[in-house]
Structure 1
Amino acid sequence: MGHRSTATPRSGGTVRRTVTTTVGLGAAFALTATALTWTGSDVTDNSELTSTDASQAALVWSDEFDGAAGDAPDPANWNHETGDHGWGNQELQNYTTSRDNSALDGEGNLVITARQEADGGYTSARLTTQNNVEHAYGRIEARIKVPTSQGVWPAFWMLGSDFPDTPWPDSGEIDIMEHIGSEPGTVHGTVHGPGYSGGGGVGASYDHPDGGAFPDDFHVYAVDWTPESITWSVDDVPFNTVTPADVSGDWVFDQEFFMILNVAVGGEWPGYPDETTQLPQEMVVDYVRVYDTE
């Protein structure tokens, strides 16, 4: 691995600032799994980082996933992207519209389920708010219980609203939360743009503050986004900020973005299912909310 510096968040876990090895789930390019050196400022104390107090912000949109068990997520908010073409990362799953892969549970949650089918293939779901809900700046958060197991790759992330007319990575990508099953105690937050994409994406990893596993419970994953910076937090503990000075190319985070929820199976970064992998695996989403913090 490349050079990493560490910091101790307030009441939080270990931060590992690095250029991540993720292409990002929206990328149209393959990845060589080589970690690179952190290209931003080498911060050794993040006590100055702050996240927004949601109670002091204006809620401008939310999906609380209220509805009957087995219902589809609200089509006024969410689109299903489908297919099994690898999604730029050599992934194995076929994304479907089936309620077996995405449905409300009747208890106020959206459940995205990755499965292995009788023919040995994998199915899952990928939901986006493109052309439905697009937003610039503010606080974007979701309360999620992530799945686990080798080769399972859940994410909550965003792409620039002009994608694919503006191709990746020029469109911009903000990974609010990525988690890979082989690292149950770690989550990742990253940005990708022109000149800092794929293995050169700029971000940080955050380790569970109690040495536990993120899949064991719900956690709130958020970014606080302004024209000058993006700050990541878990359970209101901020763990990294990226500014225009930290990226090696153009800052493309001055436009509206749409949100994405998905669970991938396989890929060059998380690796592939093996004899330890247990499926099905569920990503349970309590809510997604957008706040205006101006």
Structure 2
Amino acid sequence: MRTFIALTLVILISFSCKNEENSIESTTEELEKSNIIFEENFNEDSLNETYWNYELGDGCPNLCGWGNNERQIYSKENATIKNGYLVIKATKDAFVYKSAKLTTKQKVEFKYGSVEVRAKLPLGHGLWPAIWMLGNDIDTKGWPACGEIDIMEYVGKAPNKVHTTLHTPDSFGQSKNTKITVDENIEKGFHVYKTNWSKDKIEFFIDSKLVYTFNPEIKNDTTWPYNKPFYIILNLAIGGDFGGPEVDDSIFPQEFIIDYVKVLKI
């Protein structure tokens, strides 16, 4: 009888612990979901234009070469969804370079958050993939007054290096607010690029490793234009002041592959 009671107690305790464990996991999942501002896993057959815009053309007449002497023409055809991935393809046809640029402007804009993107880089001299953000007042204030957050920039002419940069009225172009992270494995497979943006500071991570923190002591319009909503940009440029100017035409086509984009409250 004592053996039966003891066994029953063990079963009940085990069941209770299991339920508690499941409850904790469920609570964690619910908490994470409640903190989600935006999540895109690219599981549909085509790009969800409820969230995303295609930016098209070469920037002319107002911003030819997209302000950086870039060579590509952006087209819808160079952004596709395949097997749960967003694929931004860089191509060259005769004398024409093509690629794609997507934004969440006026569709997904947020003030502060943790932005995480899992992506695989394209390879080759002249390519310039980027994951970045712009202030939603760019049309009224212009750049760099709107502010820019470069979560990840990579240029094929400089292997193993990832750039994280802030552009503000105080420092833009070749900004002093930047960090180059050297990683010999960055061209191999997928990596997670993340920024935590709060009212106090902006932190950058690569594969969960903190690589740079931006936290100016004086925060005003010239040093900290980061107290307003921003939107996300994913693109693959070709050539340009930063990516080029030389381009190795033998590399095409190349693909910038994005697994997911997630924005959480912070």
Q: Provide the TM-score with structure 1 as the length reference.
A: 0.74
Q: Decide which of 207, 213, 237 is 2:209's aligned counterpart.
A: 237
Change (3 A) 1:134 1:91: same
Do structure 1's residue 195 and structure 2's residue 170 form an aligned pair? yes
Partner of 1:110: 86
Q: Which amino acid aligns with 2:68?
A: N
Q: Structure 2, unaligned stretches of length 5 or more? A: 1-27, 59-63
Q: Which has the higher mean CA deviation after the structures are superposed, 195-204 or 177-186? A: 195-204
Equivalences for residues 73-222 of structure 1 within 5 A: 73-84=47-58, 85-98=64-77, 101-105=78-82, 107-117=83-93, 119-208=94-183, 211-212=184-185, 214-222=186-194
How large is the Cα RMSD of the aligned pairs?
A: 1.9
Q: Which amino acid aligns with 2:263?
A: V
Partner of 2:264: 291
Do structure 1's residue 269 and structure 2's residue 218 form an aligned pair? no
Q: Structure 1, unaligned stretches of length 5 or more? A: 1-53
Deviation, 1:271, is: 1.3
Deviation, 1:199, is: 1.3
Q: Which has the higher mean CA deviation after the structures are superposed, 194-203 or 218-227? A: 194-203
Q: Could you tell me how far apart the structure 1 residues matched to 2:145 and 2:50 are?
A: 27
Question: Deviations for 1:210-236, whole angstroms, at most 9, x for unmatched residues?
Answer: x33x22210000100111100000011
Deviation, 1:275, is: 4.4
Deviation, 1:61, is: 1.2
Q: Which runs of 4+ in 1 moved over 6 A?
A: none
| Contact 2:165–2:175, Cα closer than 8 Å, also in 1 | no
Instruction: Choose 1 or 2 for highest CA Rg.
Output: 2
| Contact 1:193–1:201, Cα closer than 8 Å, also in 2 | no
| Contact 2:126–2:248, Cα closer than 8 Å, also in 1 | no
Q: Could you tell me how far apart the structure 2 residues matched to 1:288 and 1:179 are?
A: 18
Q: Could you tell me how far apart the structure 1 residues matched to 2:188 and 2:137 are?
A: 36
**SS of the residue 1:157 aligns to:** strand
> Where is the helix percentage greater, Structure 1 or Structure 2?
2
**SS of the residue 1:258 aligns to:** strand
**SS of the residue 2:65 aligns to:** coil
Change (3 A) 1:142 1:120: same
Q: Could you tell me how far apart the structure 2 residues matched to 1:179 and 1:270 are?
A: 8
Q: Could you tell me how far apart the structure 2 residues matched to 1:274 and 1:191 are?
A: 26
Deviation, 1:136, is: 1.2
Q: Which amino acid aligns with 2:179?
A: A
Deviation, 1:200, is: 2.5
Q: Could you tell me how far apart the structure 2 residues matched to 1:255 and 1:203 are?
A: 21
**How many equivalent residue pairs?**
230
Q: Could you tell me how far apart the structure 2 residues matched to 1:112 and 1:227 are?
A: 32
Q: Decide which of 228, 247, 251 is 1:255's aligned counterpart.
A: 228
Do structure 1's residue 67 and structure 2's residue 44 form an aligned pair? yes
